[in-house]
Amino acid sequence: MSIRDRFPILQKKVYLNSCSQGALSLDVKQAYETYLRDWDEKGSPWEVWMERGEAARQAFAGLVNAEPDEVAVCTSVSAGVSALASALDFSGERNKVVVSDFEFPTIGQIWHAQERRGARVVHVPAAGNIIPTERFAEAIDERTKIVSITHVCFRNGSRLDVPAIVELAHRQGALVLLDSYQALGTFPIDVKALQVDFLTGGTLKYLLASAGLACLYVRKDLIPDLQPTTLGWFSQANIFAMDIYANSPSPTARRFEAGSPPVPNIYAGLAGINLIQSIGLEKIETHLLELTGAIKEGAMQRGFTLVTPADPARHGALITLRSHNVTQLVGRLEEGGIITSSRDNNLRISPHIYNNLDDVNRLMDCLTHHKELLV
């Protein structure tokens, strides 16, 4: 079976909205059916479900070259980052949080919530469709506790220079959190090579699964000194101790987990990650460079305004075009059988491994037909 054949929606739609939600595969659909069958036939097979949870931990670790004990399995990035934030001490002089202006709202909101605990949040502004590294150098100093950056911006696809920012942060003794939600599943990521302290992401988008499953990587030498106060019974060293008289956090990154795990989403998440791994991230990266290159070239040839940086090294799998009525444009494209989305008056076009150049050509034909909404 070809990759495209695994995604039934492609039989009737051009699906270019992976930055919002990956297309549903037969693999993920079957995974949910397997969960329901296990539940129906076995009642409450918690041993099986816990094995699935540990398999998800292994799968996330394999995606980013981490050790399984460095990975917390969470219900969302919000849950993982909130637990991390609760473990940081902002009472001293090192209380500064540096946040890029390209972050997803969740990240900024969580850090601003820490202001009540003494955090001082400083934003690094954009310069058009990029954030120059020198602006991070101006913001990061000896009082910086953590630098929070996105791998790929959800609004315009811009990709930050992560290694350079990590070097700036570590030089000042600051930690780095990398939000890789818009990157996981589109190119290889190695937390050891990037030298980030924390990384988060989830399965909803390019990992081709559903909402309700995410991960938080925590560098292993940091774990013992981080004591989250946002937690749940699965964060404990022995989840079956059922001890209401003490908090005994796991010695691993599991201390950043919460309550009962999202079992159905773990089934689906494993199916999505396994599919990605079976295809190969290097192959996916090469394919997406071809497709995004064709989208940029086609758009610029037609005189459309490219919002995403043109340099392929400066953007992810997400390409954006300026529109003066993007809501109407997304609707017109949908009427033509093409699924996209929008942010900030920009049309967001996000292909994946299941798309091909015929999809790009069909998109360009439809955009040309409605060019009055673009130029």
Per-residue pLDDT of the chain (375 residues; tens, 9 = 90+): 899 999 999 999 999 999 999 999 999 999 999 999 999 999 999 999 999 999 999 999 999 999 999 999 999 999 999 999 999 999 999 999 999 999 999 999 999 999 999 999 999 999 999 999 999 999 999 999 999 999 999 999 999 999 999 999 999 999 999 999 999 999 999 999 999 999 999 999 999 999 999 999 999 999 999 999 999 999 999 998 989 999 999 999 999 999 999 999 999 999 999 999 999 999 999 999 999 999 999 999 999 999 999 999 999 999 999 999 999 999 999 999 999 999 999 999 999 999 999 999 999 999 999 999 997
Q: Report the b/e string of 201-237 with b at 16+ CB within 10 A.
A: bbbbbbbbbbebbbbbbbbeeebeebebebbbebbbe
Q: What are phi and psi of 226, to 5 degrees?
A: -105, 115
Which residue in 368, 367, 351 sits closest to 359, CA to CA? 351
Q: Work out how many domains the chain is built from and give that number.
A: 1
Torsion angle of C-alpha atoms 105, 107, 111, 113, degrees rounded to 10: 50
- Nearest in space to 214 (alpha carbons), one of 37, 71, 316, 321: 71
Report yes or no on 353 lying in a domain. yes
3-state class of 296 per DSSP? helix
The answer to whether 355 and 291 have CB atoms below 8 angstroms apart is: yes
- What are the beta bridge partners of residue 134? none
CB atoms within 10 A of CB 190: 12
- Nearest one of 7, 1, 27 to 270, comparing CA atoms: 27
Rounded to an integer, what distance in angstroms lies between the CA atom of residue 126 and that of residue 123? 10
Q: What CATH number does the domain containing 343 carry? A: 3.90.1150.10
Token code pair at residue 116:
């009540």
- 323 is a domain residue: yes
Residue 305 domain flag: yes
Task: Say if residues 119 and 76 touch (Cβ distance below 8 Å).
Answer: no
Domain span at residue 343 reads 4-24+280-373
Query: If residue 319 lies in a helix (H) or strand (E), which one and from where to where?
Result: strand 319-322
Strands 96-100 and 120-124: parallel
Q: Is residue 350 part of a domain?
A: yes
Query: How many angstroms separate the CA atoms of 185 and 285, rounded?
Result: 9
**Which pTM value belongs to this model?**
0.96
DSSP bridge pairs for 148: 99, 177
Residue 367 falls inside a structural domain? yes
Q: How far apart are CA 14 and CA 294, in angstroms?
A: 15
| CA–CA distance, 29 with 255 (Å, rounded to integer) | 31
Give the number of other CB atoms < 10 A from CB of residue 344.
11
State both tokens at 368.
Answer: 């040309």
The number of helix segments (H) and strand segments (E) in the chain equals 11, 12
Q: Report residue 201 as tokens.
A: 């992401």
Q: Mutual orientation of helices 281-301 and 263-279 as an angle, nearest 10°?
A: 80
Q: Is residue 275 part of a domain?
A: no
Residue 90's alpha-carbon distances to 85, 130, 150, in angstroms, are: 10, 29, 22
Cα dihedral sign, 53-57-62-63: positive
Q: Is residue 308 part of a domain?
A: yes
Neighbour order of strands in the sheet with 198-202: 71-74, 214-218, 198-202, 175-179, 144-150, 96-100, 120-124
**Is 284 part of any domain?**
yes
